Structure 1
Amino acid sequence: MRFQHSSDIWRDFPELVPGVLVAKGITADVSVDDQVARFAELAAKRLATSSEGELPEIQAWRRAFSKMGLKPTQYRCASESLLRRFRKEGALPRLHPLIDLCNAVSIAYAVPVAVFDLSKISRYVEVRYAAGDEAYLTFSGETEHPPPGEVVFADAEGRAHARRWTNRQSGHSAVRDTTTDVLIVAEALHDTAGADVERLTATVADELAALWTGASKTAILTPSAPRFEF
Structure 2
Amino acid sequence: MTLTLTVSDEVRTLAPGFTHVTIEAYDLVNGPSTDVTSALLDDAARRLAVRLDGRAPHEDPHMVAWRAAYTAFGAKPSRTRNSAEALAKRALADGGLPRINALVDVYNAISVAHLIPVGGEDLDHIKGGMRLVRAAGDEDFVTMAGGERAVEHPEPGEVVWRDDEGVTCRRWNWRQGPRTRLTEASVNAIFLLEGMGPDAGLAAAGAELAELLEKVSPGARVTVHEPVG
Q: So what's the TM-score if we normalise by structure 1? A: 0.89
In 2, Cα distance between equivalents of 1:41 and 1:25: 31
1:45 aligns with 2:53: no
In 2, Cα distance between equivalents of 1:124 and 1:150: 19
In 2, Cα distance between equivalents of 1:183 and 1:7: 22
Alignment map for 1:1-230 (pairs within 5 Å): 1-29=3-31, 31=34, 32-140=37-145, 141-157=149-165, 159-193=166-200, 196-212=201-217, 213-223=219-229
Residue 228 of structure 1 aligns with which residue?
A: none
Contact 2:74 2:158 in 1 (8 A): no
In 2, Cα distance between equivalents of 1:188 and 1:102: 15
Contact 1:56 1:190 in 2 (8 A): no
- The structural deviation recorded for 1:131 is 2.1
Contact 2:128 2:164 in 1 (8 A): yes
Q: How many residue pairs are counted as aligned between the two chains?
A: 220
SS in 2 for 1:93: coil
Q: Name the stretch that deviates more: 73-82 or 126-135.
A: 126-135
Contact 1:161 1:172 in 2 (8 A): yes
SS in 2 for 1:75: coil
- Percent sequence identity over aligned pairs: 28
Contact 1:129 1:152 in 2 (8 A): yes
Distance 1:93 1:190, change over 3 A: same
Runs of 4+ in 1 over 6 A off after TM superposition: none
SS in 2 for 1:220: coil
- The structural deviation recorded for 1:191 is 4.9
SS in 2 for 1:27: coil
In 1, Cα distance between equivalents of 2:144 and 2:209: 25
Letter of the 1:151 counterpart: V
Distance 1:139 1:40, change over 3 A: farther
In 2, Cα distance between equivalents of 1:33 and 1:76: 24
Distance 1:139 1:25, change over 3 A: farther
SS in 1 for 2:54: coil
Contact 1:17 1:220 in 2 (8 A): no
Letter of the 2:24 counterpart: V
SS in 2 for 1:187: strand
Contact 1:129 1:150 in 2 (8 A): yes
Gaps of 5+ in 1: 224-230
Q: So what's the TM-score if we normalise by structure 2? A: 0.90
Contact 1:122 1:156 in 2 (8 A): yes
Letter of the 2:42 counterpart: A
In 1, Cα distance between equivalents of 2:208 and 2:161: 24
RMSD: 1.6
SS in 2 for 1:138: strand
